[in-house]
Amino acid sequence: MASFKFIHAADLHLDTSALRTTFNLENHRGDFPKEPEHPTRAAFDKLIDLAIRERVAFVLLAGDLFEGSSLGRDNRTALYFRQCMKRLEENNIRGFIVWGNHDYESGLTRLPDWPANVHVFPGDEPGIVKLDQLNCAIHGRSFGVRHVGQEFADSYERALSGLFNIALLHTSLDPERRGGHQEYAPCTPEQLAARGHQYWALGHIHQHQIIPGKNSWLVFPGNLQGRHARETGPKGCMLVEVSNGRISEDTIRHIPLDVVRWHEAEVNLSGAGTDEDICSEVNSKLNGIISSPGADSRVHAVRIRLTGNTRAPLKDFVNRKAIENWAVARMQDTRGIWIEDVAVEVSPAESAIPLEPDQIALLRGIEQEMAAASGEIRRVLLETSHCKDLIRHLEISTSHELSSLPEELGLKKAKPGQADSSLHKALLDEAVRRILAEMGMESGT
Ligand SMILES: [Mn+2]
């Protein structure tokens, strides 16, 4: 059996604007040091550098390379990606790609042709590429449409005997790991391990994890660059060395490549007295972040969360503005630290405001109803993008604008009754995605 190295990454979401929009720039205009232009690109550039430096045989990309709708306006994201693939080609490194629920095949139009070293697995059925010199077989299947069901993972071939088998798959896996996200190609770890592939190169779940599988590595690399304050911690790719047809714990590594790293610094104020106390607590958290190993090679975006119960009177238990001012000044003085937000989640200690049991019960009830309502709003919004009446309405209301656009844009000139509804459906999907993002919810990663 041959020995070789490869890189596995997923969920690049290249050029995604979430970093820009989620970051509270509006609140801090002028406070910030310069924001990196394209954090998702900078992280991917580092991946290509790593591939060349480590002389890997190939790079596996397991879906959601593109945000999808962001490709609509111009092709710059795809052309940037093509240039990266050419850098691999110049170094005799191959690329294997499956599309995921964001960049599903039928939603990607006007893509450039890829260099010859790149293989994109089709959506209609799983494909297999054999690399004879490496004694390796690579299996994969792209999402043809945005939603694929259980049959998707079932359609993969079993491992070919005598070869090292790798399978690329974009999947939300089983319900326990989905954490409220929608189902995409659901399957179980047991089901995947039973196929006999030595390595499942998975994508979709943005948190890096290696799932125990019998004689099979089931690996989510996580995303390459955290996109917002809830995607905290190191983000990067897997660097894997296959030695005589085997992977061992020592030869599989997660390599951080993020250029902006998100952190949550929780400071518990129970017992804290003055603003100075709070600032000194926050200060030691920030020092911990910037003095950690390798910290100086990237920007750290920090959400400060002030939590706990305080016995001080409600009206002045936290002087939010004073702490924010202090935090922003601290940021201006410290290279590599951005304060994304100061979230005040402090509640008064029960002794500060004595509540009757029925008042507590009432508050709990309100809390539960609010949680249920936000789930309902999300469900209704997600349903609207399938609403025929709404699409029809959009066709009529945009027909004038669309017909006045130049032909070269390649947008169908929509006339009511004979319009191409896929464009309008995409508009609606994008609108829903933005509304959910505004509300701090996701339409499915
Ligand atoms: Mn995905």
Q: What is the CATH number of the domain that holds 146?
A: 3.60.21.10
Structural domains counted in the chain = 3
- 382 Cα to the center of ligand 1, angstroms: 16
- 404 Cα to the center of ligand 1, angstroms: 35
Q: Is 437 helix (H, G, I), strand (E, B) or coil?
A: helix
> Is 58:94 a contact under the CB 8 Å cutoff?
yes
- 326 Cα to the center of ligand 1, angstroms: 38
- 186 Cα to the center of ligand 1, angstroms: 12
- 30 Cα to the center of ligand 1, angstroms: 34
- 223 Cα to the center of ligand 1, angstroms: 10
Domain end, chosen from 216, 239, 256, is at 256
Q: What is the pLDDT of residues 297-324, one digit of tens each?
A: 888 888 888 887 765 544 454 566 777 7
Q: Give the contacts of 84 (CB within 8 A, at least 6 positions apart).
A: 44, 45, 48
Do 199 and 343 share a domain, yes or no? Answer: no
| 106 confidence band (pLDDT: 50, 70, 90) | confident
Domain end, chosen from 203, 234, 256, is at 256
The single-letter code of the amino acid at 202 is L
- 398 Cα to the center of ligand 1, angstroms: 30
Q: Is 17 helix (H, G, I), strand (E, B) or coil?
A: coil
- 265 Cα to the center of ligand 1, angstroms: 28
| 53 confidence band (pLDDT: 50, 70, 90) | very high
- 182 Cα to the center of ligand 1, angstroms: 10
Do 225 and 189 share a domain, yes or no? Answer: yes
Does residue 361 lie within any of the structural domains? no
Q: What is the pLDDT of residues 72-96, one digit of tens each?
A: 556 888 999 999 999 999 999 999 9
Do 233 and 269 share a domain, yes or no? Answer: no
Summarize the chain as % helix, strand, coil (round to 5): 35, 20, 40
- 174 Cα to the center of ligand 1, angstroms: 14
Q: Which two tokens stand for residue 12?
A: 């690049």
- 64 Cα to the center of ligand 1, angstroms: 5
Lowest mean pLDDT among 63-72, 134-143, 161-170, 286-295: 63-72
**Maximum Cα–Cα distance for the chain, whole Å?**
75
- 32 Cα to the center of ligand 1, angstroms: 31
- 205 Cα to the center of ligand 1, angstroms: 7
- 305 Cα to the center of ligand 1, angstroms: 28
* Domain assignment of residue 19, given as a range: 4-256
Do 48 and 114 share a domain, yes or no? Answer: yes
Do 60 and 207 share a domain, yes or no? Answer: yes
- 445 Cα to the center of ligand 1, angstroms: 5
- 144 Cα to the center of ligand 1, angstroms: 13
Terminal C-alpha separation, the chain = 37
> Is 254:210 a contact under the CB 8 Å cutoff?
no
Q: Region 136-160: what's the mean pLDDT?
A: 92
- 204 Cα to the center of ligand 1, angstroms: 4
Q: 361, 363, 319, 360: which is closest to 342 by C-alpha?
A: 319
Supply the pLDDT for residue 71: 61
Do 347 and 382 share a domain, yes or no? Answer: no
Does residue 205 lie within any of the structural domains? yes
- 291 Cα to the center of ligand 1, angstroms: 33
Domain end, chosen from 328, 354, 380, is at 354
Return left, alpha or beta for 248; rule: phi > 0 is left, psi -120 to 50 is alpha, else beta. Answer: beta
Q: Region 245-270: what's the mean pLDDT?
A: 90
- 201 Cα to the center of ligand 1, angstroms: 14
Does residue 445 lie within any of the structural domains? no
pTM of the model: 0.76
- 183 Cα to the center of ligand 1, angstroms: 10
